[in-house]
Structure 1
Amino acid sequence: MIQYKELKTMAEMEQMQELEGRVWGMATLPTHQTLTAVKNGGIIVGAYADSKLVGFSYGFAGFDNGKSYLCSHMLGIDSAYRSQGIGETLKQRQREIAIQKGYDMMKWTYDPLETRNAYLNLTKLNGICNTYIENCYGEMQDGFNKGLPSDRFEIHWHLKSPYVVEKQLVNPENPIALNTLTYNQAGLPAFHKGKQPPELTEYSYSINIPKDFQGLKAASQDLAMDWRLQTRELFQKLFKAGYAAVRLKALENYGKYIFVRKENLDLGGDQS
């Protein structure tokens, strides 16, 4: 049975640091920094199997345009405990604590070509994204990111909005597809751009991405780079036109992003 609790002590920071190293295989955050963060508005929630820390979600206080928010910087789960709903529960516990502390917004980033993360952030949690950051963290050397620009979606989680609280569904029946996913002679998924409308005016659009981007990258770095650059162009075009990513449909061999106009979402009067 997995148990969850807020992490506050130096010993717990050390447990988080050890798990962080195993998850990403790169330099870890100093424990003095994480401890200071939680003493100044930050929140770390840990998931324990017996007495072993197997997952954590780490966030620190952020501030932008006169408003505070929680920047949820890391979500790490031991490889032996993935696909068990731990990530979703960690986020929900972090949300509960954030509201208690006075936050109404949480933000974090993820690689838009990672379907597992997209499904959690958009479909399960009802986060939204209308912000694309090119090469957000520069050249990263860990196994997940090495070799490609570290482009990121920035998720905005409107913690107390009807859209999140009521888990409002946005599943348009026939979104207009802006690309298709085909397979090359090696059986690898390739990006194919469809005919592009001169203006984006429809209720909803979709973009298809590979189901297993890490597997694709291992098989063909060139093909992975093409996906990065081609989708970057389409994502930025949609966001510039006022659309937001609201869902990732997990299909058998690929994921399908769904976009609608942000103004159509019930965010409780907060469109930031």
Structure 2
Amino acid sequence: MSEVEIRHLRNEDEFKACVDLQRDTWGSSFSDVVPVSMLQVAVKMGGVCLGAFGPREKLLGFVFGITGLRKGELAHWSHMLAVRPEVRDQGMGKRLKLAQGDALRALGVKNVYWTFDPLVARNAHLNLNRLGVTIDEYVPDMYGRSDSDLHQLGTDRFIVRWCLEREGAEAGPGPPRRGGAVVVAPQGVGAARGPGSPADAPGGAGYTEAAIVEVLIPGDIEAVAARSAEEALAWRRTTRRAFIRLLGAGASVAGFFPDREYGRYVLVRKPGS
């Protein structure tokens, strides 16, 4: 992907291409498209809209966000990131985020916030392992009901914080898994569990007391949803319950392990929590 140029969008045609890519990504009926006028105004007021341009200036991906105040300090909310399917899994998402970070450092921004769906393994890997974000909060149905084809499982999201003052952009793959971790997964995912850890069974809320918990997600939630909406919803219900309980009990997300079949979030309890 060395022939791809990442730069600020510069004219109306490029902003229109960004709108078109939003519809291509979230569906033609997606009603939350950010229009050209708002993209342009946001950029004039300290927002950032960067595009990844390929051969013949084709827009292959973009990242967009707005700058404002959070708790009295300058901060940035990264609202959208999209990459065309034909160039996914080639590092373009990370390149866009790193370019965004460079642009925001020049503005004096120290912290960037955004959301991602906890069930999407590739996004968990990008955010936790490649960018090193911190998960601040789990919000059920953060964006309410959506008409995007990508939001058929609701809009549950992690809110994450990316500290731009941290040295380096890379993060490790999380803490090593240790024996005795309780594994949380929907009923029937027995092969993924550790011995004696039916954590989502009735009355199984005791996993909130465990020192280390692994919350499983599918390696490809889109494929699961295409195969069985009921199965995909079971993953949503189980992970929603687990994250709300664990984070509410003082645990924190310490890492993510991607795998073809299942991804694993590792949550650890803080001493005294």
Tell me the TM-score range normalised by the shorter chain.
0.7 to 0.9
Question: In structure 1, what residue type is equivalent to 2:47?
Answer: G
Q: Shift of the alpha carbon at 1:135?
A: 0.7
**CA 1:198–1:88: 2 relative to 1, 3 Å:** closer
**8 A Cα contact 1:8 1:35, kept in partner:** no
Aligned-partner SS, 1:193: coil
1:179 maps to 184
Question: In structure 1, what residue type is equivalent to 2:4?
Answer: I
Question: In structure 1, what residue type is equivalent to 2:67?
Answer: A
Match of 2:25 among 12, 15, 23: 23
2:137 maps to 131
1:141 maps to 147
1:268 maps to none
Match of 1:97 among 103, 115, 119: 103
Question: In structure 2, what residue type is equivalent to 1:12?
Answer: E
After superposition, residues 37-56 of structure 1 pair within 5 angstroms as 37-50=42-55, 51-56=57-62
Aligned-partner SS, 1:197: helix
**CA 1:62–1:200: 2 relative to 1, 3 Å:** farther
**8 A Cα contact 2:186 2:234, kept in partner:** no
**8 A Cα contact 1:8 1:44, kept in partner:** no
2:15 maps to 13
**Whole-Å separation in 2 of the counterparts to 1:165 and 1:133:** 26
Identical pairs, percent: 30
Question: In structure 2, what residue type is equivalent to 1:21?
Answer: R
Q: Shift of the alpha carbon at 1:99?
A: 0.9
The one-character-per-residue Cα deviations of 1:166-224 (angstroms, maximum 9, x if unpaired) are: 7366423317233146757xx9xxxx53555375362x431111111111112222222
Pairs aligned (count): 256
Question: In structure 2, what residue type is equivalent to 1:197?
Answer: G
Match of 1:254 among 258, 262, 270: 262
After superposition, residues 152-191 of structure 1 pair within 5 angstroms as 152-162=157-167, 165=169, 167=171, 170-174=174-178, 176-180=181-185
**8 A Cα contact 2:132 2:170, kept in partner:** no
1:75 maps to 81
The one-character-per-residue Cα deviations of 1:134-186 (angstroms, maximum 9, x if unpaired) are: 1111111222112x321111111111125x657366423317233146757xx
**Whole-Å separation in 2 of the counterparts to 1:23 and 1:7:** 18
**Whole-Å separation in 2 of the counterparts to 1:110 and 1:235:** 14
* Larger deviation, residues 72-81 vs 218-227: 218-227
After superposition, residues 231-250 of structure 1 pair within 5 angstroms as 231-250=239-258
Q: Shift of the alpha carbon at 1:106?
A: 0.6
Q: Shift of the alpha carbon at 1:18?
A: 1.6
After TM superposition, which residue ranges in structure 1, 4 or more long, deviate above 6 angstroms?
none
**Whole-Å separation in 2 of the counterparts to 1:215 and 1:5:** 33
More strand by share: 1
Match of 2:229 among 221, 242, 246: 221
Structure 2: where are the runs of 5+ without partners? 192-197
Aligned-partner SS, 1:167: coil
**CA 1:199–1:119: 2 relative to 1, 3 Å:** closer
TM-score by length of 2: 0.85
Question: In structure 2, what residue type is equivalent to 1:45?
Answer: L
Aligned-partner SS, 1:178: strand
After superposition, residues 107-126 of structure 1 pair within 5 angstroms as 107-126=113-132
**Whole-Å separation in 1 of the counterparts to 2:270 and 2:80:** 26
Q: Shift of the alpha carbon at 1:10?
A: 2.6
Q: Shift of the alpha carbon at 1:227?
A: 1.4
1:200 maps to 209
Backbone CA RMSD of aligned residues? 2.6
**Whole-Å separation in 1 of the counterparts to 2:21 and 2:173:** 35
